[in-house]
Structure 1
């Protein structure tokens, strides 16, 4: 799985505002404005954090599994078993990235002025129920076209 995980790390690390760091349990952590949005392990595991409601929807829709170590947390696990799983892993990481990006924008910092979260959400092609939940969660930030 190292090649697939290396591709994920390469792509995510190029997103504006994303820094990489060694994860304390091995692998690579993705950090935006000092907060981790997720991390990957060479064994093909992608872990990421969102809100409780979005996490629950991901689990209900079968798009992720409960976090393998702390299953009751807001973290989820996605397993990359083959190259075919990379796009779904990227989609989940992009969702976590948008969440962090909007949180930082609410503080008046725009790390990625080129990204329009509304457009990105459409590109993610989430299931209708999850898309509606994410949009409701992000609504205030999505309605603002410029940083606070």
Structure 2
């Protein structure tokens, strides 16, 4: 799985504001404004930091599994078993990224001014309940771009 994980890392590190660091249990973690949004392990595991509500929605929709070590936490795990799994892994990491960027926007920090949240959510094409959850939680941030 190293090739798939390497491709995922190569893409995610290009997103504005994303930095990488070695993960304490091996692999690479992704940081946005000093906070981890997720990490990858060379064995094909992608772990994401998200809220419990979003976690529950991801699990209900079968888009991720409970975290492989901390199943009751707000973290989820996605397993990359083949090249075909890369787009879904990237989509989930993008959700974690969007979640973090919007949280920062709510505090007046805009690390990715080119990001248009509504268009981003449409592109990610998540199930209606998850999409609605993100839109409701970050309504202020989603409307921020429209008023600028």
TM-score bucket of the superposed structures, by smaller chain: over 0.9
Q: What does 1:103-122 align with in structure 2 at a 5 Å threshold?
A: 103-122=103-122
The superposition leaves residues 67-113 of structure 1 with CA deviations (integer Å, 9 ceiling, x where unpaired) of 01100000000000000000000000000000110111122111111
- Gap regions ≥5 residues in structure 1: none
- Matching of residue 87 in structure 1 with residue 73 in structure 2: no
Q: CA 1:27–1:139 in 2, change beyond 3 Å: closer, same or farther?
A: same
Q: What does 1:11-30 align with in structure 2 at a 5 Å threshold?
A: 11-30=11-30
TM-score, scaled relative to structure 1: 0.96
CA distance in 2, matches of 1:30, 1:117: 20
TM-score, scaled relative to structure 2: 0.96
Report the number of matched residues.
148
Could you say which residue in structure 2 is the equivalent of 1:35? 35
The superposition leaves residues 25-49 of structure 1 with CA deviations (integer Å, 9 ceiling, x where unpaired) of 0000000001000000000000001
**Secondary structure of 1:36 counterpart:** strand
CA distance in 1, matches of 2:39, 2:147: 27
Contact 1:5 1:42 in 2 (8 A): yes
- Gap regions ≥5 residues in structure 2: none
Cα offset, 1:143, TM superposition = 1.6
Contact 2:39 2:47 in 1 (8 A): yes
Cα offset, 1:140, TM superposition = 1.8
Q: Stretches of 4+ moved more than 6 A in 1?
A: none
CA distance in 2, matches of 1:70, 1:9: 23
